[in-house]
Amino acid sequence: MPIEPPYPVFIRSKVIPGFGRGSSDLGIPTANIPADDFTTSAVPHGQTGIYFGLAQVSGSYGSNNATNSPNKDDNDDSVTATANTSLISGQDAKVLPMVMSVGWNPFYQNKQASAEVHIVHKFVNQFYGANITIAVLGYIRPESDFVSIQALVDEINHDIEIMHDRLSQPEFAAVAADGAFSNT
């Protein structure tokens, strides 16, 4: 069975700082993507919500930290303090499973979608400024109203289960070898 159109949708972008809330509040870091790189063409049907797919980061850890982000609080230097120019390699450089949240970016008066990607992998370091290639492979659910931190964490963990389940289906087996990803 082929992948259901319009998937796979490939996005190539750079990781920028978000509001710094993913890790600290939830224990679930999300690599934020600039809204400019994330036009509605990247999101089939322009739907906000939770998607699943694969992602690969490349370049160096912590390169070009914390610049150019509309979401960046200039007084917060927490992410600039750990610049690390070594190359992303090993398991961190593989094509990895991810869940992606797409929402309307308040910075752009909610006219532009933005995306953040939680890669299901334990990285040795953060990778602000790195390149990220994403294959969006399907839609999981719409955004839900905020209930509590714990409910949100439970929901994300459920999304991750769904993602693993869907990714194990045969039509997705060849995506990681797609030429859009680098062969490491």
| Site of interaction with Mg ion (CB under 5 A) | 18, 22, 30, 32, 116
Task: Name the phi and psi angles at 171, rounded to 5.
Answer: -65, -20
- 3-class secondary-structure state, position 184: coil
Q: Which residues are within 8 A (CB) of 140 and not within 5 positions of it... i.e. 6 or more apart?
A: 49, 50, 51, 52, 99, 159, 162, 163
For binding to ligand ADP (CB under 6 A), which residues are involved?
15, 17-23, 29-32, 118-119, 121, 123, 126-128
Q: Which of 4, 116, 143, 171 is catalytic?
A: 116
The nearer residue to Mg ion, 43 or 79, going by C-beta atoms, is 79
Nearest residue to ligand ADP, by Cβ distance, number only: 22
Nearer to Mg ion, 8 or 18 (CB): 18
Phi then psi for residue 136, to 5 deg, are: -80, 125
Is residue 171 part of the annotated active site? The answer reads no
Measure the CA–CA gap between 94 and 136, rounded to whole angstroms: 16
Closer residue to Mg ion (CB): 43 or 175? 43
Please identify every residue annotated as catalytic. 116
